[in-house]
């Protein structure tokens, strides 16, 4: 079986070696005792793979994923985020929602016609063309000093469940943000449009776009490993199709 990313939509990403996944065997989850391969999607821990052999991704903000209890657990990609960013990501099963006392420090990533996009929330957008002597625009310099928020909330569910979750009183007044245009890497045949993103893709794009808007250094792949399991799943499906 080939595990090459060269001819895939993931080819430009800086991903860790898939060797630990390729050699992984199905095993019993140490926590819930269910049989799993690669990781346990209910306990959010690696299974049959040592934790130290997996990449970890440090995120500049804390992420709370609110997951609908009926979301098909095996299909959900929120566990990828928790396993690859264990220090930054927490998963809450709806109706369990953390209480956010200061809504100014939280943003809810959720698309909608009225929702501002990430770039419009960061100040100084219109003065982008003014370059300082160092080559960093004054707008960017200004943005560097302003944290966008302290926590990001992401909803992991079907569209109709997500509407209900975001209408919940506890989330209703939290300011929202949406991504700039982003396309899915993983175009399944399920007649979904190409901007319909898996939860892990939405998180990946959020941090990549935030970096591009806020940081002086250009984006260098530091969040690419968020897509580590996702890209591997793509290869598994591709290999399966090719051997049919
Ligand atoms: Zn488990």
The predicted structure's pLDDT at residue 73: 64
Coil, helix or strand at residue 151: strand
pTM to 2 decimals? 0.89
Supply the pLDDT for residue 188: 60
pLDDT of residue 144: 55
CA 76 – ligand 1 centroid, Å: 15
The CA 7 to ligand 1 mean position distance, Å, reads: 34
The 8-class DSSP code of residue 134 comes to T
Distance 44 CA to ligand 1 centre (A): 7
Supply angle C-alpha 56, 18, 43, rounded to 5.
55
Tell me the C-alpha distance between 88 and 83, whole Å. 10
> What is the reported pLDDT for 130?
45
pLDDT value of residue 97: 95
User: Ligand 1 centre from 13 Cα, in Å?
Assistant: 29
- Alpha-carbon span 99 to 171, nearest angstrom: 9
**Quick one: pLDDT at residue 148?**
82
Query: Can you give the pLDDT at residue 60?
Result: 94
Within a 10 A sphere around the Cβ of 108, how many other Cβ atoms?
Answer: 25
**Distance from the CA of 197 to the center of ligand 1, in angstroms?**
26
Split the chain (244 residues) into runs of 10 and give each run's mean pLDDT: 86 96 96 96 94 96 91 80 97 94 93 92 55 56 69 92 92 93 71 76 96 90 97 91 82
Distance 86 CA to ligand 1 centre (A): 15
> What 3-state DSSP class applies to 60?
coil
Tell me the CA–centroid distance for residue 3 and ligand 1, in Å.
27
Q: Is 221 left (phi over 0), alpha (psi -120 to 50) or beta?
A: left
**Residue 4's closest CA among 23, 22, 25?**
22
Q: What pLDDT sits at residue 243? A: 83
Question: How far, in Å, from the CA of 35 to the mean position of ligand 1?
Answer: 8
> Where does residue 103 fall: left (phi above 0), alpha (psi -120 to 50 degrees), or beta otherwise?
alpha
pLDDT, residue 80, reads: 97
Domains of the chain, CATH where assigned? 55-243 (3.40.1280)
Distance 5 CA to ligand 1 centre (A): 29
Query: Residue 126: what pLDDT?
Result: 42
Given the DSSP bridges, would you call strands 151-156 and 106-109 parallel, antiparallel or unpaired?
Answer: parallel
Q: Is the Cβ–Cβ distance between 62 and 90 less than 8 Å?
A: yes
Give the pLDDT score at 122: 83
Residue 84 Cα to ligand 1 middle (Å):
16
What is the 28 CA–ligand 1 centroid distance (Å)?
8
Please give the pLDDT value at position 129.
Answer: 45
pLDDT of residue 234: 92
Query: Backbone phi, then psi, for 27, in 5-degree steps?
Result: -150, 175
């Amino acid at each position: 079986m080939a595990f090459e990313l060269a001819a895939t939509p993931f080819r430009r990403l800086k991903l860790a070696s898939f060797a630990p996944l390729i050699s992984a065997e199905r095993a019993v989850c140490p926590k819930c005792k269910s049989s799993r391969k690669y990781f346990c999607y209910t306990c959010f821990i690696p299974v049959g793979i040592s934790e130290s052999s997996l990449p970890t991704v440090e995120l500049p903000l804390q992420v709370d994923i609110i997951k609908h209890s009926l979301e098909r657990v095996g299909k959900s990609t929120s566990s990828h985020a928790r396993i690859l960013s264990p220090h930054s990501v927490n998963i809450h099963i709806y109706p369990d929602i953390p209480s956010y006392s200061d809504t100014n420090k939280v943003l809810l990533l959720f698309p909608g016609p009225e929702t501002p996009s990430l770039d419009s929330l960061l100040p100084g957008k219109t003065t982008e063309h003014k370059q300082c002597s160092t080559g960093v625009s004054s707008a960017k310099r200004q943005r560097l000093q302003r944290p966008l928020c302290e926590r990001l909330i992401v909803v992991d569910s079907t569209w109709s469940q997500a509407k209900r979750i975001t209408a919940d009183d506890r989330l209703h007044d939290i300011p929202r943000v949406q991504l700039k245009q982003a396309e899915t890497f993983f175009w399944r045949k399920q007649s979904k449009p190409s901007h319909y993103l898996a939860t892990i893709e939405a998180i990946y794009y959020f941090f990549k776009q935030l970096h591009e808007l806020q940081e002086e250094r250009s984006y260098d792949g530091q969040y690419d490993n968020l897509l580590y399991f996702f890209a591997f799943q793509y290869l598994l499906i591709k290999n399966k199709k090719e051997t049919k």
